[in-house]
Structure 1
Amino acid sequence: MKYVIMSAGADAAHPRPVTDAAGDLVPLAEQDRSRWRGDLIAEGVTLLGQALPHGPVGRYQLQAAIAAVHAEAPTVEATDWLQISILYDMLNRVAPTPFVTLNQAVAVAMAHGPDLGLALLHPLLADPAMRRHHRLHAVRAHLLELVGDPAAAAAHYRTAARLTDSLPEQRYLNRRLARLRQQHPGS
């Protein structure tokens, strides 16, 4: 069921980069959701609804539920971020990983504000493996930008761009950094 929802255009549990015709990264907020496969989303949501009442809810059901909430929202703004943050909290109890916490921080930031999302990221900075992962720095940069700390955001965008091997992600992160520098000279 998660596969069906993922194939439709949204993979909330393990996002894979979506690129445009030029090979540039298209973040979830900028994706044309009218191009997502509504038929597969509906099928996945139906399968999820049939599976949830039968037995304990585990990792895969929670990942599918997160993907479904993303996929059913017509826009990022209309996404039920509170529900997603609750689902990530449950997932973190069932199958805790640093990446679940990273995704949970994004959902919490969207539902409750970037300061709370940053608080969830703080323990991840103590993990040497996570400190070497570009996504931690990219998320932290975005949340720091939202709280109004352009200098710290710029530092994390630079680190994220340096750590990723993905050229589309490097270009995206460098564009974010350039935009930030243009808006806040000296950052």
Structure 2
Amino acid sequence: MATITYYFSTISPYSYLAGTRLEQIAAKHGAEIVYKPLDIVALFGRTGGTPPKERHVSRQEYRAQEMQRQAKKLGMDFNLNPAHWPTNMAPSSYAFIAAANSGGGDLGALAHGFLRACWAEEKDIAQDDVIRACLTEAGFDPSLADSGLLVGAETYARNLDEAVEAGAFGAPFYVTDDGARFWGQDRLDDLDAHLAGEL
């Protein structure tokens, strides 16, 4: 069975625009997904990137156009300037890690739930009530929002280290068990073709 390690941030607009296509691709190829939420700003700092608000205005303007184009192509609701972005990624990431450790729900739905809450529903995913609602909607116990905080913090930091070691520098970032790397939601078709042995 192939394994796809998925590095993502719960506030990344491009992780949001990926939707649940990764899960569909994994199901198609019988692949396992290993979810690794991380601090995207820290990842930029570790790999030579620049946070969006610190980029040259030309880059910011292009990014704004591109995100809106991609959302339209994908038929996804998208707010270019969400009320709660950026926000603290850690609480939702810790809850995700607790959910992954507990089992019993849909991790793909949980990841997308956090991202949709930020980019389409004007919700602050650092808030306990929003985290609990996302957990519930994805089939997890909402009390996971308050559990495993130490383990969550340790795993969250380790995910960042592992991402850097694996060659990831943005989100979403996909790494297959044979070392192939794919950056961005617009490379999911290439990931699909790679798993099919076509690339």
Q: How high is the TM-score relative to the length of structure 2? A: 0.32
Which structure has more strand as a fraction of its residues?
2
Q: Which has the larger radius of gyration?
A: 1
Q: Which structure has the higher relative contact order (CA within 8 Å, separation 6+)?
A: 2
Q: How high is the TM-score relative to the length of structure 1? A: 0.34
